[in-house]
């Protein structure tokens, strides 16, 4: 198989895993790779049980349960990706937008498969990084390091390194990682959507913003999906 066939196989395999674990597969699962990232963009994926809980506004319970199941899927998906792409998986991050019924699984690979997409839209990446830093400062603190990546004409990733404040590190050490994650997810995405000037920076509408953290390594990925 060539690279595109391998990527298509991984997206198809991911759909089957989700269907087996949740009883309902996604409407679509699109995979794309650039630099050392493999991004799985998932649409139309809420199980019947989750639909009931979301109607009752039990978002936190849905988030807890989904994280547990998704993490069990990632263990199996890791092996499939490593064998198919012949490279090690460094880590996974994932996030879900329940109102839009969308989500992403971001795979960080040990080695790059293809070069990063060359910008053809005159995106000011320094402005993008500055805006992410500004929002990060409003919520917690300015990142110690920040990097931006264009995965495709519609998918961008910003990596922030060194963003946890001392109180957050103390909560993690005391076993409150999941509670912190849920709180940060709601707070940060709210600020990114309401106070961010990303439509102007990208020169088109941002359809989805996904955020996840590696609490142990103290970094975060923000994934922007353009309309």
Q: 129 and 87, same structural domain?
A: no
- Are 133 and 170 contained in the same domain? yes
* In-domain check, residue 71: yes
Tell me if 105 is assigned to some domain. yes
In the chain, how many domains are there?
2
Which structural domain range is residue 37 located in? Answer: 3-109
Q: 120 pLDDT band (50/70/90 cuts)?
A: low
pLDDT higher than 90, residue 114: no
pLDDT of residue 99: 85
Q: Is 15 inside a domain boundary? A: yes
| CA atoms of 157 and 107, how far apart (whole Å) | 12
Is residue 217, in this structure, part of any structural domain at all? yes
Residues 201 and 146 in one domain: yes
Is residue 139 domain-shared with residue 183, that is, in the same domain?
Answer: yes
Q: What is the pLDDT of residues 131-142, one digit of tens each?
A: 999 999 999 999
Same domain for 190 and 139: yes
Is 120 contained in some domain?
A: no
The answer to whether residue 114 is domain-embedded is no
51: Cα separation from own chain's centroid: 22
pTM of the model: 0.92
36/115 Cα distance (integer angstroms): 9
Q: Write down the residue that tokens 């509670």 correspond to.
A: 179
CATH of the domain at 95: 3.30.980
Is residue 92 located within the same domain as residue 170? no
DSSP labels, 201-227: HHTS-EEEEEEEEETTTTEEEEEEEE-
Q: Which residue, of 109, 143, 172, is where some domain finishes?
A: 109
Task: Tell me: do 79 and 10 sit in the same domain.
Answer: yes
Among residues 21, 3, 32, 20, the alpha carbon closest in space to that of 11 is found at 32
Same domain, 101 and 186: no
Confidence of residue 62 (pLDDT cuts 50, 70, 90): confident
Whether residue 140 is found in the same domain as residue 58: no
Tell me, yes or no, whether 102 and 159 share the same domain. no
Domain co-membership, 85 together with 52: yes
In a domain, 119, yes or no: no
Residue 178, pLDDT above cutoff 90: no
- Same domain (yes/no): 150, 54: no
């Amino acid at each position: 198989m060539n690279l595109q066939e391998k990527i298509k196989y991984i997206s198809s395999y991911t759909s089957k895993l989700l269907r087996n674990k949740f009883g309902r597969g996604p409407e679509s699962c699109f995979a794309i790779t650039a630099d050392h990232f493999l991004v799985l963009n998932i649409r139309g994926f809420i199980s019947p049980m989750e639909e009931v809980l979301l109607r009752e506004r039990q978002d936190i319970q849905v988030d807890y349960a989904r994280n547990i199941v998704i993490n069990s899927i990632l263990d199996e998906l890791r092996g499939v990706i490593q064998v198919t792409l012949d490279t090690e998986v460094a880590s996974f991050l994932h996030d879900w937008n329940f109102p839009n019924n969308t989500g992403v699984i971001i795979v960080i690979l040990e080695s790059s498969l293809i070069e990063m997409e060359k910008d053809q839209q005159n995106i000011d990446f320094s402005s993008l990084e500055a805006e992410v830093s500004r929002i990060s400062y409003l919520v917690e603190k300015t990142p110690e390091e920040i990097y931006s990546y264009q995965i495709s004409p519609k998918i961008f990733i910003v990596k922030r390194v060194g963003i946890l404040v001392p109180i957050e590190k103390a909560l993690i050490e005391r076993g409150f990682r999941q509670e912190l994650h849920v709180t940060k997810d709601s707070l940060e995405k709210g600020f990114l959507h309401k106070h961010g000037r990303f439509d102007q920076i990208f020169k088109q509408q941002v359809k989805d913003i996904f955020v996840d953290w590696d609490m142990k390594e103290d970094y975060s990925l923000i994934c922007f999906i353009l309309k």
